[in-house]
Amino acid sequence: MIIKSVNLETVCGVTSRLPENELPEFAFAGKSNVGKSSLINALMNRKAYARTSSQPGKTQTINFYNINNAFYYVDLPGYGYAKVSLEAKEKWGKMIERYLRRSQMLKMVFLLVDIRHDPSANDKSMYDWIVYNGYHPVIIATKLDKINRSQVAKQTKAIRQGLGMAQEDILIPFSAETKQGREEIWKLLEEQL
């Protein structure tokens, strides 16, 4: 996929009205420190367009990136970050729920999990919740470069079991460092477009 233009078009906070976009949307969900911004930057072919931070929980809004004036990457707030108040977490949860339920143009939801660890209770809840809302999330197992090749099959199996994934559900190991997995993700996006 050739990325010609990227524009952070809409930023929605807790009280914002969601945009009524007319282009397809692809949403990215995941824990606060799972590498969502790094993945989105890799998919946009940009170094630091989506803000990455050493401090988890930075994305507190829903960010709509217009790509090539053809579709949107939608960056959802990270979940499960301990230093955020319960009240803030609930607001983010409601905001994400509102988006998943109301977006007319949402084509696919990508759920990011860290390949180094078994899915957390938050990951499982998010997975179940995306499925409950009628989507088949594509699982992106991030931080692939942080484990040995020999561990990949074991870890992907643990993620599939931990989330209770169906056999046909898609899981893509991904590394923001080496860009491994990026072509597979683009292929899925292109099929939807």
Convert the pLDDT of each residue in 50-75 to its tens digit.
765 555 555 578 999 999 999 999 99
Q: Please provide the DSSP assignment of 144-165 as one string.
A: GGGS-GGGHHHHHHHHHHHHT-
Measured distance CA(8)–CA(67) in Å, rounded: 9
Non-local CB neighbours of 76 within 8 Å, separated by 6+ positions: 27, 28, 29, 36, 59, 62, 96, 99
pLDDT tens figures, 100-141: 989 999 999 999 999 999 999 989 999 998 998 899 999 999
Measured distance CA(116)–CA(146) in Å, rounded: 7
pLDDT tens figures, 77-86: 887 665 667 7
**pTM for the structure as a whole:** 0.92
Give the bridge partners for 25, in sequence order. Answer: 72, 106
- Tell the residue number behind the tokens 């807790």, with chain if given: 14
Are 121 and 163 spatial neighbours (Cβ–Cβ below 8 Å)?
Answer: no
Measured distance CA(115)–CA(107) in Å, rounded: 24
Question: Residue 22 half-sphere exposure, CB side, CA atoms within 13 Å?
Answer: 1
Measured distance CA(102)–CA(120) in Å, rounded: 27
pLDDT, position 55: 54
Non-local CB neighbours of 28 within 8 Å, separated by 6+ positions: 36, 39, 40, 73, 74, 75, 76, 109, 110, 112
pLDDT tens figures, 134-187: 999 999 999 999 999 999 999 999 999 999 998 899 999 999 999 999 999 999
Q: Which two tokens stand for residue 106?
A: 């949402």
Of 81, 40, 88, 46, the residue nearest 64 (C-alpha): 40
